[in-house]
Amino acid sequence: MTDPMTPNTTLLIFSTIVLTGIGTTLFSYFMKKRGKKRISINSLKGWKDGGQVSKLFIYPVKSCKGCEVESFNCSGLGPIKGNTRDRVFMFVDGDNNFITARRFPRLTQIIPKVSEGYLNLQAPDMDDIHIKIPFNVKGNTNVRVWGETISAVDCKIASDWISKYLSPILDVKEPIKLVYFSGNTTARTVKEREIWPHMYREDGTAFADLAPFLLINSNSVKNLTDRIKSPSVVTYENFRPNILIGGASAFVEDNWSFLKIGEVIFRQTKPCDRCVLTTVDPRKGEKYPDGEPLKTLREYRCATDPKIKASSGSSPFMGINLAVEKEGVINVGDPVQFVTLQ
């Protein structure tokens, strides 16, 4: 039997405090920091152990399957491995508005692979398609992501292929197009909010929803799945992380202000509020009929602070959004260190 005063028990107690006090731990930290000046990474002290990197993923095409890698370079726009960049391809409808697996869950079954200058796409009951990546080609069409306009390259060859794949559920005016972001910087900016004082305008991405990186703690996922009473199979894949860590107590990542992995230093911009995309079964490309894992997450991971709740509504939190303060390479197995600002 474990002694009640062992370090493991202490960690469990701390984790429980974080879970039950989400309105006064995760969010009170951010609220206290309102109006503070940007913090220099050279001033950070007191790094603590936070587990290790278990898996790394890059998602070349927004809403499609990820590519698992052993290492990647961390740039301001997100992870890079050779010519594989994160969410630089995206599907748009006839009005050039971005589409995702929220609307078309079958997108999650497309397997992208970047090889020898081509994007190769595989999907159930479809012939593979090979698209030459238009490196260094200036954008020739304007597309919209969450209301923001961004210049992109129309990969015309893919239009018939993706429209055919989605045809059983197609409800757009014109054929769907695949577009590519060829730049190294983005015109997209982040709307700074007083409640998230470490989120800055320059933390923009190519086609990702919000942040260049998303970190998920495998023990936070386990804490969730232990609570789900339905037969729905939920894993870390439902949350589409770039960085999956292990060896840390559930939800301790909520309060990590800065992280050091390998030679890279990350800044937490905000906790990640989750949407219906998490209810898509990544194994089948169909939505769970019982609304998991959102249903259970909402029972204990929603904001209680009124100002945070006004922003996030009923969206619960799982994982943390990260921006890069110091670029470099991270690897599977790298230790994770963190600083929590008081």
Q: Which residue in this structure is represented by tokens 């959004």?
A: 321
Lowest mean pLDDT among 10-24, 26-40, 212-226, 279-293: 10-24
Beta bridge partners, 281, equal 286
- Of the pLDDT bands very low, low, confident and very high (cuts 50, 70, 90), residue 223 is very high
pLDDT in tens, 313-323: 999 999 999 99
Q: Which residue in this structure is represented by tokens 């000046």?
A: 37
pLDDT for 194 equals 72
Question: Residue 19 in contact with residue 253, Cβ under 8 Å?
Answer: no
pLDDT for 21 equals 46
* Rounded Cα gap, residues 41 and 20, in angstroms: 31
* Amino acid residing at 104: F
Q: What is the dihedral of CA 177, 178, 181, 187, to 10 degrees?
A: 40
* Rounded Cα gap, residues 176 and 162, in angstroms: 7
Q: Please give the order of strands across the beta sheet that includes 89-92.
A: 98-99, 89-92, 177-180, 148-154, 141-145
Tell me: pLDDT of 12 over 90: no
- Of the pLDDT bands very low, low, confident and very high (cuts 50, 70, 90), residue 68 is very high
pLDDT in tens, 230-239: 999 999 999 9
pLDDT for 271 equals 95
Question: Residue 51 in contact with residue 45, Cβ under 8 Å?
Answer: no
Tell me: pLDDT of 217 over 70: yes
CA distances from 186 to 80, 85, 93, 190 (A): 15, 14, 21, 11
The set of residues, in sequence order, having a beta carbon less than 8 Å from that of 76 and lying 6+ positions away, is 185, 202, 212, 323, 324, 327
Q: What is the largest CA-CA distance in the chain?
A: 66
Question: Residue 245 in contact with residue 218, Cβ under 8 Å?
Answer: yes
* Rounded Cα gap, residues 17 and 248, in angstroms: 15
The closest alpha carbon to 79, from 317, 261, 284, belongs to 261
pLDDT for 170 equals 65
